[in-house]
Amino acid sequence: MKQVQPDVWQTELESPFPGLTTHAYLLTRARGNVLFYNTGHDHEIDRMAGLGGVHRQYLSHLDELGASLNTIAERYGSLLGGHEAERADFAKVRAPDILFRRHEVHDGIEVIPTPGHTAGSTCFLATSSTGRRYLFTGDTLYLSDEGWRAGLLPGSDRAALTASLEQLRALNPDVVFSSAFAGEAGFAEIHGDWAARVDEALARM
């Protein structure tokens, strides 16, 4: 685990297949830690114990499913959150304890459905104890060497993804963390230019 913000820890790099790299992020909180995305590294799951374990695990979409969801839940008694549209996919690995259906707040985390990359793609906005706003975009927006890009793949819904990006454009995050990424890092500090970054991603679609 690598500390990347005062209250955010990044798991070791994973490469599920060539060209794809991912991290998961543990947000440490007095009310219970939240793990965003997923990791298959058993040693990283073990290290989370020293940071207070995992109270909830939120997946941004079905591509983050894996057997380690059961390992994390069994080790820490954590609750799993995922979007209702992908409930059947989740159930093949682990049924979600918490279903995301609409833009709402779960345990202090703002849940923002952002369909397009997949039908159940979801982003999360969390306010740190330091006052900073962390946006977790999954693969709806991911960081590349060229900047932020939209997660438009074969099978994605372009119109839905465009609408989702326009929704995210209205936010004002301080740090943005994607799940997959194609550059040197999976997160970036934002310095008042978030709308412009999203506009660039829209233009690249």
What is residue 152's three-state secondary structure?
coil
- For 123-181, the pLDDT digits (tens) are 999 999 999 999 999 999 988 888 888 888 888 899 999 999 999 999 999 999 999 88
- For 14-58, the pLDDT digits (tens) are 887 666 788 999 999 999 999 999 999 999 999 999 999 999 999
What is residue 75's three-state secondary structure?
helix
Indicate the fold that domain 2-204 takes in CATH: Metallo-beta-lactamase; Chain A (3.60.15)
Closest CA to 174 of 3, 1, 8, 2: 8
Q: Could you tell me the residue ranges of all domains in the chain?
A: 2-204
Q: Under a CB-based contact definition with an 8 Å cutoff, are residues 62 and 118 in contact?
A: yes
